[in-house]
């Protein structure tokens, strides 16, 4: 595995390479400019919902039901939200908006330049049902070449280069296209030195299947992030078993405290519970393979529309970590040291 000469050891942001040591506290899984509108919601041709104090709670509880809540294409709105995060102590954002959910690399560059916040763009494809038929015909080598080019040349017709591979979307059971994307990502990882981040299917076996596919395809499982662990595995023992495979565990639903999420009832943890799982991972020697984020992908989670915003982890969760006996060094590991290691191309 090796990065291109100009990138080795660097973090590749939307404005260009930067020294890993300069990267501050980092959110490893966010969406700034995106459109995750469910296909069946888009087909209704409804007017965009107007979010108000009278309906924001219900829209937040059923986030995928109302047309308009699942997208933000406004650079100005995203810029304001990023500045709020910066004021709360946040240092950098990884935007994992990939093909199928309206990535906007040029827009991310505008936001980064205006705010001074480093942003890393993700490469690859979202889940099968969001991807048109034509790309699904591509073979593993063609998919790998595309992801390599996104890191070395630019993404989707721009000269903005990706600094991470993902989020690669997977459903359950895994679709054939998604399996080919995972296998291609392992090849692209070997050629670029980039970390892979995967959105697993909604089944407790899904993360383990993904680890197996990446390993068998020659990828580096130590640089594989399994996202959304907080909606996929529901006990510390399950999280520890996944951590034992050598992958990186990502708790990225911070700020979501509800019994309903996207598709129906969900036994989601609270932020306190997430920290309990992370405490267990530290106590069992896995503390250097944990990253965190919010995975904001609806308007109602933005401050402008009554949500917690991208600053929630820094503003609210870090103080909670101290009440759960996390040391400053452990907090630094989660927010700074591990993101630096994973985002530096090797």
pLDDT given at position 6: 72
pLDDT, position 36: 97
**C-alpha angle 214-37-302 in degrees, rounded to nearest 5:** 95
At 263 the pLDDT is 82
pLDDT at 2: 59
Q: Are strands 119-123 and 164-169 parallel, antiparallel or unpaired?
A: parallel
pTM: 0.97
pLDDT at 262 > cutoff 90: no
pLDDT digits (tens, 9 = 90+) for 186-245: 999 999 999 999 999 999 999 999 999 999 999 999 999 999 999 999 999 999 999 999
Which of 272, 221, 275, 273 is closest to 246 using CA atoms? 221
How many Å apart are CA 294 and CA 308, to the nearest integer?
10
* 3-class DSSP state of 19: strand
Model confidence band, residue 45 (pLDDT cutoffs 50, 70, 90):
confident
Residue that is written with structure tokens 């405490």 in the block = 279
Neighbours of 121 (CB within 10 A): 30
Mean pLDDT for the chain overall: 96
Homologous superfamily of 10-343 in CATH?
A: Metal-dependent hydrolases (3.20.20.140)
Contact 194, 4 (CB under 8 A): no
Q: Whole-angstrom Cα distance, residue 145 to residue 166?
A: 15
pLDDT digits (tens, 9 = 90+) for 313-332: 999 999 999 999 999 999 99
* Separation between Cα atoms, residue 216 and residue 163, nearest integer Å: 23
Q: What is the pLDDT of residues 132-158, one digit of tens each?
A: 999 999 999 999 999 999 999 999 999
Q: What is the pLDDT, as a whole number, of residue 219?
A: 98
Euclidean distance between CA atoms 92 and 45, whole angstroms:
36
Comparing 140-154, 160-174, 222-236, 257-271, the range with the smallest average pLDDT is 257-271
Question: What is the rounded distance in angstroms from the CA atom of residue 273 to the CA atom of residue 136?
Answer: 38
Per-residue pLDDT, 56: 97
CA neighbor of 25 nearest in space, from 304, 311, 259: 311
Which sequence spans correspond to the domains of the chain?
A: 10-343
**pLDDT tens figures, 98-133:** 999 999 999 999 999 999 999 999 999 999 999 999
Contact indicator for 238, 284 with CB cutoff of 8 Å: no
**Rounded (5°) CA angle 215-295-124:** 45
Tens of pLDDT along 177-186?
999 999 999 9
- Within the chain, residue ranges assigned H as helices are 39-42, 56-61, 75-87, 105-115, 140-152, 176-192, 206-216, 236-243, 271-283, 312, 318-323, 328-332, 338-343
| Interval 63-103: pLDDT, tens | 999 999 999 999 999 999 999 999 999 999 999 999 999 99
Local confidence band at 264 (pLDDT 50, 70, 90 cut-offs): confident
């Amino acid at each position: 595995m090796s990065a291109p000469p100009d990138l080795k050891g660097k973090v590749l942001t939307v404005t260009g390479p930067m020294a890993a040591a300069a990267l501050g506290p980092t959110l490893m899984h966010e969406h700034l400019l995106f459109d995750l509108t469910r296909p069946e919601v888009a087909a209704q041709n409804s007017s965009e919902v107007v979010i108000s104090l009278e309906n924001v709670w219900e829209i937040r509880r059923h986030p995928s039901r109302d047309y308009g809540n699942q997208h933000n294409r406004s650079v100005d709105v995203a810029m304001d939200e990023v500045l709020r995060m910066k004021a709360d102590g946040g240092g950098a954002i990884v935007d994992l908006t990939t093909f199928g959910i309206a990535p906007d690399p040029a827009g991310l560059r505008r936001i980064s330049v205006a705010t001074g916040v480093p942003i890393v763009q993700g490469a690859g494809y979202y889940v099968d049902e969001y991807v048109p038929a034509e790309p699904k015909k591509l073979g593993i080598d063609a998919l790998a070449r595309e992801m390599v080019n996104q890191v070395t040349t630019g993404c989707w017709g721009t000269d903005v280069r990706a600094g991470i591979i993902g989020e690669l979307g997977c459903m359950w059971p895994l679709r054939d296209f998604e399996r080919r994307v995972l296998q291609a990502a392992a090849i692209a990882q070997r050629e670029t030195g980039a970390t892979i981040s995967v959105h697993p299917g909604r089944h407790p076996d899904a993360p383990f299947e993904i680890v197996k596919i990446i390993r068998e395809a020659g990828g580096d499982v130590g640089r594989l992030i399994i996202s959304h662990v907080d909606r996929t595995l529901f006990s510390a023992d399950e999280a520890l078993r996944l951590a034992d495979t050598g992958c990186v565990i990502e708790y990225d639903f911070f700020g979501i405290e509800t019994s309903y999420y996207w598709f129906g009832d969900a036994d989601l943890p609270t932020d306190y519970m997430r920290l309990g799982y992370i405490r267990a991972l530290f106590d069992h020697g896995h503390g250097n393979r944990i990253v965190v984020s919010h995975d904001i992908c609806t308007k109602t989670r933005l401050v402008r529309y009554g949500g917690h915003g991208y600053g929630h982890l820094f503003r609210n969760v870090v103080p909670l970590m101290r009440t759960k006996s996390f040391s400053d060094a452990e907090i630094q590991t989660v927010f700074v040291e591990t993101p630096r290691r994973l985002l530096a191309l090797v």
